[in-house]
Structure 1
Amino acid sequence: MPGDHVDGMDVLKVREVVKEVIGRARRREGPTLVECETYRFRGHSLADPDELRDPELKAIHKKIDELVEDAVEFADERPLPPRSQLLENVFADSKGFGIRPDGSYRCADPKFTQGTAHV
């Protein structure tokens, strides 16, 4: 029986191999063994200590947490943007969309917002 070995952590490579294997099976060329080598992220059970992870990953997670906390703190310290900017950069073609200075909603095509909630 033919077999393929693939890096199971690379979803695109797995997809590529599996597409070929499925094609082989649909052509009635028999089964294929696919070995996907993966990295275990956790132990086998809750009682199994998490000693399989590289200690360096804990430092990476700590750095990510710090970056997120800094970003949240930065955002919380800033004033809220004016209502007139609520819909800026939301649509692919923002021309004609948004809120007028008087607070009313504007849209190039009035039917665009028909039946939707108003801002």
Structure 2
Amino acid sequence: MVEKKTRGSIVCTTSVASVIAGTVVPHGYTASKHALVGLIRSAAGDLGKHGIRVNGGYKIKMEASELEEIFSEAANLKGIVLKARHVAEAALFLASDDSAYVSGHNLLVDGGFSVIKN
């Protein structure tokens, strides 16, 4: 994008482990996700002068039933259960011109899960 002088948006996928620590996943996994947020912020600072925005948000790689169980506590907070489309819509927002002034951000689409667990 820099070589071609193309403005745009890079959306990285992270995990809830990028903002909270826990004992459910290995420490190296949590550390790598925290590091990814640092990389997103550094890249945003470096690439911003080229008109390139860099943001993050997290991906879903679980079955719907697993998600429902994991996010049930958050669902009680917000009254909804996380669906893949919620994450997809957030990623589309970050990639679109609607977020033209957003860069270096890790968008949490978790219904408050990271707040409850933190």
Structure with max Cα Rg: 1
Q: TM-score, normalization: structure 1?
A: 0.30
Question: Which protein has the bigger helix share?
Answer: 2
Which has the bigger relative contact order, CA under 8 A and spacing at least 6?
Answer: 2
TM-score scaled by length of structure 2: 0.30
